[in-house]
Amino acid sequence: GDSVTQMEGPVTLSEEAFLTINCTYTATGYPSLFWYVQYPGEGLQLLLKATKADDKGSNKGFEATYRKETTSFHLEKGSVQVSDSAVYFCALILTGGYQKVTFGIGTKLQVIP
């Protein structure tokens, strides 16, 4: 079946450090890929998405590129802030038909001043 594997946390970084959270996927079809973020005490929010190979999703300084050859969608940010502290979930949905969203286990990021 479809699955998403992402690096386990927690990840602790100093402010202004570079962030990478790895995500790889297995899909029976052709998926759209997402990163969702969950800030403390809040619901899941879509951070960015990419719907086809080589697309780059970006938002709030975060980026991720859809790499079909490596089945990956790694999340990056050049300079993290304390306000980026949250749990980040990689997810996929197969395009077409009746499909569910499949999530990774989440990676907790803590940014310290």
Partner 1 sequence: GAGVSQTPSNKVTEKGKYVELRCDPISGHTALYWYRQSLGQGPEFLIYFQGTGAADDSGLPNDRFFAVRPEGSVSTLKIQRTERGDSAVYLCASRGQGSTEAFFGQGTRLTVV
| Residue of 12, 15, 57 whose CA lies nearest to 34 | 57
Q: Does 74 bind partner 1 (CB under 8 A)?
A: no
Among 45, 79, 81, 83, the residue binding partner 1 under the rule CB under 8 A is 45
Least distance to partner 1, CB of residue 48, Å: 11
Number of neighbouring beta carbons within 10 Å of residue 21: 23
Q: Does 11 bind partner 1 (CB under 8 A)?
A: no
Q: Give CA–CA dist 18/56, Å, rounded.
A: 18
Cβ closer to partner 1: 17 or 65? Answer: 65
Cβ closer to partner 1: 40 or 98? Answer: 98
Q: Does 34 bind partner 1 (CB under 8 A)?
A: yes
SS3 82: helix
SS3 24: strand
The angle subtended at Cα 88 by Cα 82 and Cα 93, nearest 5°, is 150
Query: Which positions touch partner 1 (CB under 8 A)?
Result: 32, 34, 36, 42-46, 49, 51, 89, 93, 95, 98-106
